[in-house]
A and B are shown apart, each in its own frame.
Chain A
Amino acid sequence: MSVAVAPVLPMLFAQTRAQLLNYVRIPAFSLTSLALPLVFYTFFGLPNAGKHFPDGTSVGLYLMCSFGAYAVSSVMVFSFGIGVANARGLKLDLLQRATPLPAPVAILANVIMAVIFALVALVVLIFYVVVVGGVHFPVEIGLEIVGLLLIGALPLIGMGMAIGYTSGPNAAPAVANLIYLPMAFASGMFVPVGDLPDFIQKVAKYLPTYHYAQLAYTPVHHADEPLRWALLWSAVWAVILFAAAIRAYRRDALRKFS
């Protein structure tokens, strides 16, 4: 026999392709990921799209950062949270475990799938803001926002995985919504943090989603904290949330595979 194991790259490609096809065909996931940010922008962003802050920054652009952060973070939390819980519910993990597919390839395919989805959601949102909102900004600013939102999404993947490995398929959507939506709200993704009640403002400063949104505001010079602080906070949250995800994964694996 010439080759003992299958090459990893085609396997990764096939796995990613299968994940993408599967998610595209679940409208509850694909449609809401793409459409909800537009719906929210229509409500909160469009009425203010033409206005400017005293420093000259476009309010429409600022709100694009907010809903961009919402778009990417919801893709990450829901695709991993509900996706992993569903896969466990369907017993996908049992069969997959018996095949030669290495676990890191399966996880990487999930990450690539989620990044592609997030990217599409961002591009659709930016297109909408530019065309419908009439907001204009240099391409570099747009690229910087997209780049920071994708890099900063790491802790949210950890949060999604932690939810996915602890909740069943029926509970996961509720758990993900109950944990993530209030966090997104408190972090200023819908209403600027400064307009929220005092105690929420105090709590918000510790949330991963808050620092994630701060990353998005950096290119438009409206972040409350320097970029390095937002990155540091995100890194700390990534460590915490991935530790929780790995712990939940191990507990699940121990029950099924030891």
Chain B
Amino acid sequence: MTAAVELIGAHKSYGAVQALRGVDLAIQPGEVVAMLGPNGAGKTTSINLMLGLRKPTSGQARLFGIDPGDRRARSRCGVMLQESGVPSSLTVREVIDLFRSYYPHPAPTAKAIEMAGLQEQARTQTGKLSGGQRQRLYYALAVCGDPELLFLDEPTVGMDVESRRGFLASIKDFAAAGKTIVLTTHYLEEADELAQRVVVIDRGLVVADASPREIKSRVAGKRVSFTTDQPLPPDALAGLPHSGLEIEGLRVRLLSNEPEAVLVALFRRGVGLQDLEVVGADLEEAFVTLTSRSAVAEEVGS
């Protein structure tokens, strides 16, 4: 079976900046893949190469086995980009009708409007939409061609909680119809909710490629911080599951996906704790585990 999307040894440099440093990735038809990574990791660059919006400096990108710039490949894809625009004086319905004309087997206009939840804004000029509505319009434009493959580059940016929930449900419906979806996100839970496969990118390299469950078990889920009554002995944390340790005087911060085990061990070792805080790590923090591993791998490799 031909992969829907393929990057083969893809490198991309912008001047001196290496955005991608050799990415190999094949996405099969019907897969829902989330590309996860901190800002500047190379997610958008990967999507741009897959779509043929940019050309790899070396290596290859294939869309349905052909050049991504080819109209036959493009006609099977819908796209939501981070940066895009539509004529501001056209209405939602008019823009959707326009984009439908680009595709050989478009979905009905009403269906695209409904999938994006824009029924009430159908006659609104696009220049008057709110940020979240605009984002949903771009989703309608991405699905109006009834594509087999959907690219969503940070689709929920700018959406409030309510519209985000409805939007994710719509994407799930789309995926349930057997479509292929490639999305980028900052949010681990979003990837977890939508995708069967998570590709973690950091500094232009794929550092993990596995199911959301596996990824979650590999990244540090909690940030633990506390103050000790005396400086922490150097071996106090030896053998405990943690990473990203920072000590500032008596204040200690660390990341762990087993905070309970860490705390139990600290109590047993007789470390006195105050001002204890255990909170969910944000993505940037969570990735310290994966990315420090990749940095180590690189040093070993070189």
Contacts and interface: CB of A to CB of B under 8 A. Distances in A.
Given A21-B94, A90-B86, 9 more contacts: A5-B72, A6-B101, A15-B101, A17-B98, A22-B89, A95-B85, A99-B99, A99-B102, A100-B102
A139 interface: no
Given A18-B90, A98-B53, A101-B102, A4 B72 contact: yes
Interface of B: 51, 53-55, 71-72, 74-75, 77, 79, 81, 83-90, 94-95, 97-105, 125, 138, 141, 145
A247 interface: no
Interface in A227-258: 257-258
Interface string A9-41: 011011101110110011000000000000000
Contacts of B141: 95
A107 interface: no
A102 interface: yes
A95 B89 contact: no
A151 interface: no
29 contacts: A1-B104, A5-B72, A5-B75, A11-B101, A11-B102, A14-B98, A14-B100, A14-B101, A18-B98, A22-B90, A25-B89, A25-B90, A87-B87, A90-B85, A90-B87, A92-B87, A94-B85, A95-B84, A98-B53, A98-B81, A99-B74, A99-B79, A99-B99, A100-B71, A100-B103, A100-B145, A257-B53, A257-B54, A258-B54
A93 to B, nearest CB: 8
A224 to B, nearest CB: 42
A87 B85 CA distance: 8
A258 B104 CA distance: 27
A92 B86 contact: yes
B87 A4 contact: no
Contact of A98 (B51, B72, B86): B51
Contacts of A95: 79, 81, 84-86, 138, 141
Contacts of B95: 18
A131 interface: no
Contacts of A94: 53, 81, 83-85
Interface of A: 1, 3-6, 10-11, 13-15, 17-19, 21-22, 25-26, 87, 90-92, 94-95, 97-102, 257-258
Contacts of B88: 22, 90
A92 B77 CA distance: 18
B84 A6 contact: no
B222 to A, nearest CB: 39
B133 to A, nearest CB: 16
A25 B128 CA distance: 14
A6 B102 contact: yes
Contacts of B55: 258
Nearest to A101: B102
A163 B44 CA distance: 30
Given A22-B87, A98-B51, A102-B71, A5 B104 contact: yes
A219 B138 CA distance: 51
A92 B86 CA distance: 5
B85 A14 contact: no
Contacts of A99: 74, 79, 99, 102
A248 to B, nearest CB: 20
A105 B66 CA distance: 22
Nearest to B127: A90
Nearest to A83: B87
A87 B84 CA distance: 10
A102 B89 CA distance: 23
Contact of B85 (A3, A21, A26, A92): A92
